[in-house]
Amino acid sequence: MPANDYKFVTTWEVRASVEQVSEILEDPFGLVRWWPEVYLSVCEPEPGVLELHTKGWLPYRLRWFSRRTESRHPYGFSLAAWGDLEGEGVWTFTPAGDRTHIRYEWTVRARKPLLRILSPVLRPIFAANHRWAMKRGEEGLKAELARRATGA
């Protein structure tokens, strides 16, 4: 596997229905509001294509595009990514009583020159940056669910 290929599997558990989780995670424009540490901007330059500007705690930004390739509403969806990151993301939402288990599989190749060139040496740091970003997402999702529950 090339050094700039990454496969991440993230799991979260939240006290919410799959419908509630799906409503939030299937709305890409809301990401900037509840996951602002990572999502700087999301726009739709053409129907069905999203342009995303993201970051982590490392001092670089990513510009990438995505298109939903499969919907399993409300149980998840898949997306294709290209740009600074190229690959596939698969979100899966599984009901578990009053909770939902969330699994995200992100299989990507880093195309941004900085990441591509430095991946052989800095791969563990880039992976830690991804884990940091996903932890912010879990915290943001829980806060967004709480905000919606209180009607704030």
Q: Tell me the pLDDT band of 50, cut-offs 50, 70 and 90.
A: very high
Q: What is the pLDDT of residue 30?
A: 98
Number of domains in the chain: 1
Mean pLDDT of the region 107-136: 96
Helical packing angle, 113-150 and 18-25, nearest 10°: 130
CA 123 to chain centre: 19
CATH of the domain at 101: 3.30.530.20
Q: What is the pLDDT of residue 33?
A: 98
Average pLDDT, rounded, for the chain: 97
Q: What is the pLDDT of residue 2?
A: 87
> Residue 64 is part of which domain span?
5-150
Nearest to 12 by CA among 103, 73, 97, 96: 103
Q: What is the pLDDT of residue 151?
A: 83
Q: What is the pLDDT of residue 1?
A: 73
Residue type, 9: V
Cβ pair 6, 107 in contact under 8 A: yes
